[in-house]
A and B are shown apart, each in its own frame.
Chain A
């Protein structure tokens, strides 16, 4: 079955540093979605990427979808303590439902 791998599992940064999490799928995806889960909360949808090579920005967050539509990344510029949480990618192969990666837990120290 489809697998979605995320790295790193965990990252601890100082406030102001950048952060990147990477997502790789074993199969070509129809689209990829990113979610954020705050500690003690539930996953919340951030964005969906559909096109090969697509880049989308949300303030300090930049999302990319690879040319082969099998990988994606989320980059946060100048992290803030409010960025703390676990970031999940979720791949959609188009013939089934989403497969979530295991997530990258981000800790930001002030």
Chain B
């Protein structure tokens, strides 16, 4: 079985640029989560979707962040404009239901210079 697939694995860009992170969930998983991980703040939930519908985006830090899930096979997390403090590892995770274990992708290591 293919796991959660994230791209790119690494991204280095200059501040002010638009960044788009991508996630392909495990087929049949109805829940998709976007997390941000830093040493200081740990693993933070940014937003999650159920059946492609955003359920809770209270973790999205500010209007520069947006996430979409146009279909069951694809989600994006966009940062525009990016800032150095956005540097972190961004994980996408999916689960069959809200109570079931979450399966994480390998993450995108984002560095904003």
Specify which of B98, B104, B106, B107 is in contact with A97 (CB 8 Å cutoff). B98
Distance between A106 CB and nearest chain B CB, rounded to angstroms: 15
Q: Which residues of B contact A97 (CB under 8 A)?
A: 31, 33, 45, 48, 56, 98
Question: Which residue of B has the minimal Cβ distance to A99?
Answer: B45
**How near does chain B come to A36, taking the closest CB pair, in angstroms?**
11
Find out whether the CB atom of B99 lies under 8 angstroms from the CB atom of A92: yes
B42 touches A100 (CB 8 A): yes
B102 interface neighbour in A30, A45, A101, A102, Cβ under 8 Å:
A45
Complex contacts, A78 vs chain B, CB 8 Å: none
B residues 68-113 in Cβ contact with A at 8 Å: 91, 93, 98-99, 101-107
* Closest 10 pairs (CB-CB, A-B): A102-B42, A45-B101, A42-B104, A100-B43, A43-B104, A97-B98, A42-B107, A42-B106, A92-B99, A33-B101
Nearest to B93 among chain A residues (CB) is A43
A55 interfacial contact with B, CB 8 Å: no
Contact with B along A38-52 (1 / 0, CB 8 A): 000111110010000
Residue of A nearest to B89 (CB): A42
Give Cα distance in the complex from A30 to B99, angstroms: 9
Q: Is A88 an interface residue (CB 8 A)?
A: yes
Find chain A residues with CB under 8 A from B45 CB: 97-100
Give the CA-CA distance A43 to B31 in the complex, in Å: 17
A10 to chain B, nearest CB (A): 11
Bound CA span A40–B101, Å: 21
Whether the pair A43, B91 counts as a contact (CB closer than 8 A) is: yes
A 85-110 binary contact with B (CB < 8 Å = 1; else 0) = 00010101010111111110000000
Given A92-B99, A97-B31, A97-B33: A44 and B104 within 8 A (CB)? yes
